[in-house]
Structure 1
Amino acid sequence: MSKRLLLVSWAMTWEKSAVYALTPTITSMFQANNISGVLTTVLSILQTVLQPMYSKLSDMTGRAEAYTISIVFFMVSFIIMACAQNYNTLIGGQVMYAFGFSGTLVLGPILIGGKMAMLILYCVIHYDVYVDMTDIVNRSMFLALYNFPTIINLFAASAAAQKILETNWRWGYAHVCIVMFVTSAPLIFGLWRIQRKAKQTNLLKTSNALPKSTYQRTLAGKVLWLCIEIDLVGSILLTAGLFLILLPLILANNWGGWGSSITIGTLCAGGGTWILFVIWEKMCAAKPIIPLTSWESKNPAWGVLVVFLIAIINNMMDFQYFLTYLQVTRRLTSQHATYLERGFNVTYVCLPLVIGYMMKHTRRWRPYVWIGASFAVLGPGLMIPARNSHSHDAFIVISQVIFGAATAFINYPILVGIQASVPPTDIAIVIALYEVGTSVAASIGTTIAGSVWNSILPGLFKKHVPGNYQYAKIVQSISYALALPEEQYQGVVVAYDVAMRLLGIIAVCIGALSFLASIPLKGFLLVNEKGHESSSQEDVNVKTLGEESVDEEIVISHTSEMPDKIPS
């Protein structure tokens, strides 16, 4: 089953790598390159709500059902985008894609770290031997291994995307449907088979199952129960608030400027929606979408905040506009520009294997977070001089590698640390909280980039681009910008350099905040003590070290959950 998970992971990273390389060129074809950040913002906002919903739905209905639904949405979305005739249709496909991608993204780690992973093992080995491959000590290593197939796609997908652009860009979206169907079919089939066998042997118990009496009531009663379980009202308010606040920051110039009635009205409505959201979550929601107050440890809150800030930097500096910047200022192909950016991805994929190995042998996770937080300041700091049209390509790669190391040192240890800081029954919730944090951060990061790009560039063009020019065409289409007379083209390059430098300064400030946010994290040693066959409950035994320990480390001992009797 782990091989099937890795296969789906490979397919998802292939899609991400290929579409990432395709997006600037495709948005240029639709004359919408300057607002391409809307695509990522829409996706990130929807992920914010959909990921915790999928987490809860998977607990209520089953992993197999939730995974199947998400894969269907995933494939349908790419059919829509492959048939798109305008940018609005592309955004519509992205909305559908959010429903599919969110499910596959959040359910993967749940299958690895939750009870379903142990259930899979029981069935795969026919209940003869118990092997817990996802204990807390080894979890970082396994999560790194789960994402390692990305390395295959980092360069191959970019090369494939370049060839697709030279023939028919629509196949860039269409082929993803085929790839996802072929790679996900074995996993879905296996999940359904295991889930059926588990129900037959009474191994699978759904704690949030709908009471039998409820099924005998009206359809309206069942719908109301489901809405309460997934906090539908809170989800709608959260989504609306993010859309109303973030989209105007990107589209203000298209709506007539910051003083237009549409922009002001949208921002005010967004503020009001956020107030309603807070009131609802605090006073009305039976099961809040983000249950921050349910744990004694503050590690989940601080850990998610650190990851949140790092994700803002990543999405602000590396998505959408960075490839456009490279292609315009250095006259690079989509493939070459993507290769320069890949220093981040290669480091982020390979380094976690080393980090996981060190965590396994040192039983510590917090020191690695501090190392990453230091790199989170250094990396963006180097990006300021590196992202200049006259700098060497190697300088760009070095800055990308350092920030990739920052993300690797932070994300994996924090994910393990916050899982170990909560009761085992809340692992799925804390993973969803982690994913919500990164999703909100992604929407904020792309919004900052889009806002800077669309708000500052008009003034920079007036200052640096001589003669008469058509601003809209330059920022909407890469090919049009490259075809400008040399003097005007050089002015565009200077304007892009200044805009990118400003983003770098903002990134350094956010990196400093992430370092400060990592300081309150409470460290502990990761110790896994496997129980015997009669163990029926996963206990957390907390012991403090001697008073001489400066960090006041906490030893958390996890006894793996096993059924009272293993079927023969």
Structure 2
Amino acid sequence: MVSLFSKFGPNKSEATEVPADGKDERYETSSIESAEKQVGVQKVEAIALTWSQTSLWIAYAGILLMATSTSLESQTTYLYSSYALSGFGYHSLLSTVSIVTGVMYAVVKPPMAKVADVFGRFEAFVFAILLFVIGYIMLAASNSVQTYAGAQVFYAAGSTGLIILQQVFVADTTDLLNRALFSSIPDLPFLWTVWAGPEVGAAVLKGTTWRWGYGMWAIILPVCSLPLLGALFANMLKAKKKGLLPPSKIKQHGFGGFLVKTFWDLDVMGLLLFTAALCLILIPLTLGANATGKWKNPSLIAMMVVGGVCLIAFPFFEMSKKLAPSPLLSLRLLKNRTVLAGTLIAVFYFMAFYQSVFPYFYSYLVVANEQSIVSAGRIVLTFSFTSTVSSIIISFFIKWTGHYKYFVCAGGLIYILGFGLMLRYRVEGSTRAQIVINQVLVGLGGGFLNVPAQLGVQAVVPHQDVAAATALFLTALSVGQAIGSAICGAIWTTNLLPKLNTYLPDEFKPNATEIYSNFVTASSFPSGSPARLAINRAYQETMRLMLIGAVVSAVPIVFLTFFMENVDLKAKELQNTKGRVFGSSGPDADGRVAQEESTVERKQAEA
């Protein structure tokens, strides 16, 4: 396996030394001023000096084990949401819950990257796992849609925290040429869990309830995280014994000073503004059209107005050095056209995806296409499988060619083609094969887009900004998810119920609201009956409108790909990691690590 990933060795420490003015020619692709390194970055660079080949492979084995757990969890628990919300009588709120989750995915990534930079990678992993466990305990115990939605906040915070921290860890321990390949490791489990997930989910629903389906992951994930946490903790202790770790901020500033500094370092005010902006704008879109005249509700209008004000105020707040000395989102990174284009691609990528595949595609397959639970689950997860396979293959090509841009450009075209065919075949009478082929094309385009675009964003920033750039890219994905969920939620709530009232036979029209609110009820009518045909037609016409929105959202991706810089990933002067990493940095690995170690010790002594 080592032969697949090139030689194990460190990168040049000199390549990561950027002058205060940020104008070092070795970072001329960026033109971004480098910030002072925070404690978490200093910690991980110190830990990088203590990695052995064995301990680093153990850490990656831990990443794979943790990813297997979270992957199987995501492939099963999404099945339960339709049943949980239908049990509460709120199936139509699927998109609202998806928005809440998407907003949390968006707002948690930057502060989680901040936690990793301010406190350390190990501490951030522990914090994310704790949030994940709390979320699943709450989901399993929820007895109302309000508690369920609140639990999604904790779950989404922990889940997305693990996602970004895995990618930050990969960026810390690989050079640019190998990073795309290693970035695919957390996605590898999708190759097998995508098929096992629906079976496990169906077995849980058959043998017990959706509550245990959620609750069991509060036990499984912490156990699976032990190898990675153990490797990080052991090497942190090694770095501490060698005196390589930075001094404690509590000892430096006192407990009160530490709290104040942490408040500003985490940009708590910026986090609140960002969260309020997304929640107050997007959530009302799925609630406002549930009943005639609901948009006249002044509270919903007030929410959107306040959200708009927060959204306008957010970038001004973040760009103020006095109000946000350590901004939540490093908007200065957007001065670089590659970072800007990459983050916009991420927004439109998930915006289109969440108007077509999630959150209503599964319900559509069960109701309108009359698929079984297992069959519908497998069709929905075809995207995950295909995108994982294609991203792994593309990662090898990136390593071989040393370039990523070609694949991003191709991915944009394939992505649009997939959505176009989905629009063509999302009609009554389409076969399972036609629907699966559409999902394969969309997944293929997604695999070409996601990992290479993220690599492009990371390639043009110094090490201090790698976590921030990764957070910016992944946050853009989540913003796209939230916007896409809001659009499809608005389409769903505006169109489905009126269409049911129009098409249902007269004797079933009094049941229209119940059918609209519970997809289990909608799928219970006999196949071919007048009521079922009317329900299927309402579902199909509503899905068609969502797919039109998906195609429109995917079009800008093609144009944005041309603005990304075609970076030569083989250029050693662009490498933005320190210490012992996976990469092709030459035969004198131990000598370079020793040189970096002595440099750190000298700086510690001077301090």
* TM-score normalised over the length of structure 1: 0.87
| Cα pair 2:67 2:189 within 8 Å, conserved | yes
Residues 263, 470 of structure 1: alpha-carbon distance in 2 compared, 3 angstrom cutoff? farther
Letter in 1 for 2:563: P
Closer, same or farther: CA 355–5 of 1 in aligned 2, 3 Å: same
1:127-149 alpha-carbon deviations (Å, 9 max, x no partner)? xxxxxxx2111111111233111
| 1:274 and 2:311 are equivalent in the alignment | yes
Q: How does 1:32-431 map to 2 (within 5 A)?
A: 32-114=90-172, 117=173, 134-169=174-209, 170-205=211-246, 210=249, 212-215=251-254, 219=256, 221-254=257-290, 257-283=294-320, 284-294=323-333, 297-431=336-470
Deviation at 1:285, TM superposition (A): 1.9
Distance (whole Å) between structure 2 residues aligned to residue 389 and residue 30 of structure 1: 30
* In structure 1, C-alpha distance between the alignment counterparts of 2:280 and 2:336, rounded to whole Å: 33
**How far apart, in 2, do the equivalents of 1:344 and 1:142 lie?**
20
Kindly indicate whether the alpha-carbon contact (under 8 Å) linking 1:419 and 1:427 is maintained by their aligned counterparts in 2. Answer: yes
For residues 519 and 530 of structure 1, what CA distance do their matches in structure 2 show? 24
Structure 2 matches for 1:546-557, cutoff 5 A? none
Tell me the SS of whatever aligns to 2:371.
coil
Q: For 1:440-519, what aligned pairs fall within 5 Å after superposition?
A: 440-467=479-506, 468-484=509-525, 486-519=529-562
1:162-189 Cα deviation digits (max 9, x unpaired): 0111122211011112211220122222
Assess if the C-alpha contact under 8 Å between 1:295 and 1:422 holds in 2: no
Q: Which moved more, 1:59-68 or 1:295-304?
A: 295-304
1:564 corresponding residue in structure 2? 595
- Tell me how far apart the structure 2 counterparts of residues 243 and 295 of structure 1 sit (CA, whole Å): 23
Give the SS at the match of 2:89.
coil
Q: How far 1:316 moved relative to its partner?
A: 2.0
Cα pair 2:181 2:395 within 8 Å, conserved: yes
Deviation at 1:447, TM superposition (A): 1.1
User: Taking every aligned residue pair, what percent have the same amino acid on both sides?
Assistant: 27
Q: Hey, what's the Cα distance between the residues in 1 that align with 2:91 and 2:335?
A: 46
* 1:479-525 C-alpha deviation (Å, 9 max, x unpaired): 21123472122111111111111111111111111111212112122
- Aligned residues, how many? 523
| Larger relative contact order (CA 8 Å, sep ≥ 6) | 2
Contact 1:23 1:320 in 2 (8 A): no
- CA drift of 1:397 comes to 0.6
Question: For residue 548 of structure 1, what is the aligned residue in structure 2?
Answer: none
Structure 2 stretches of 5 or more lacking a match? 1-58, 581-585, 599-607
What CA distance in whole angstroms lies between the structure 2 residues aligned with 1:22 and 1:453? 20
Q: Cα offset for 1:297?
A: 2.9
Moved more, 3-12 or 248-257: 248-257
The Cα shift of 1:212 comes to: 4.3
Structure 1 SS opposite 2:295: coil
Alpha-carbon distance, 1:275 to partner: 2.5
> Contact (CA 8 Å) 1:74, 1:97: kept in 2 or not?
yes
Report if the CA contact (8 A) 1:382-1:399 is conserved.
yes
Name the SS for the 1:330 alignment partner. coil
Aligned residue type for 1:564: Q
Determine if contact 1:307/1:438 at 8 Å carries over to the other structure.
yes
Residue type at the aligned position of 2:279: F
Contact 1:58 1:66 in 2 (8 A): yes
Structure 1 residues 188-197 or 391-400, which shifts more?
A: 188-197
Report the AA paired with residue 55 of structure 1: A
- Once the 2 structures are TM-superposed, how far is the Cα of residue 405 of structure 1 from its aligned partner? 0.9
Letter in 2 for 1:166: K
- Note if contact 1:24-1:320 (Cα within 8 Å) is conserved in structure 2: no
Q: Contact 1:365–1:413 (CA<8 Å) still a contact in 2? A: yes
* 1: CA distance, partners of 2:327 / 2:242: 33
Task: Give the conservation status (yes or no) of the 8 Å contact 1:34–1:454.
Answer: yes
Find the residue that maps to 2:296 and give its secondary structure.
Answer: coil
Query: In the alignment, which residue of structure 1 is the partner of 2:605?
Result: none
User: 1:343 Cα shift?
Assistant: 2.1
Name the CA shift for 1:274/1:146 in 2 (closer, same or farther; >3 Å).
Answer: closer
Residue 472 of structure 1 and its aligned partner are, at CA, apart by 2.1
* Cα shift at 1:304: 1.1
5+ long unaligned stretches in structure 1: 118-133, 539-556
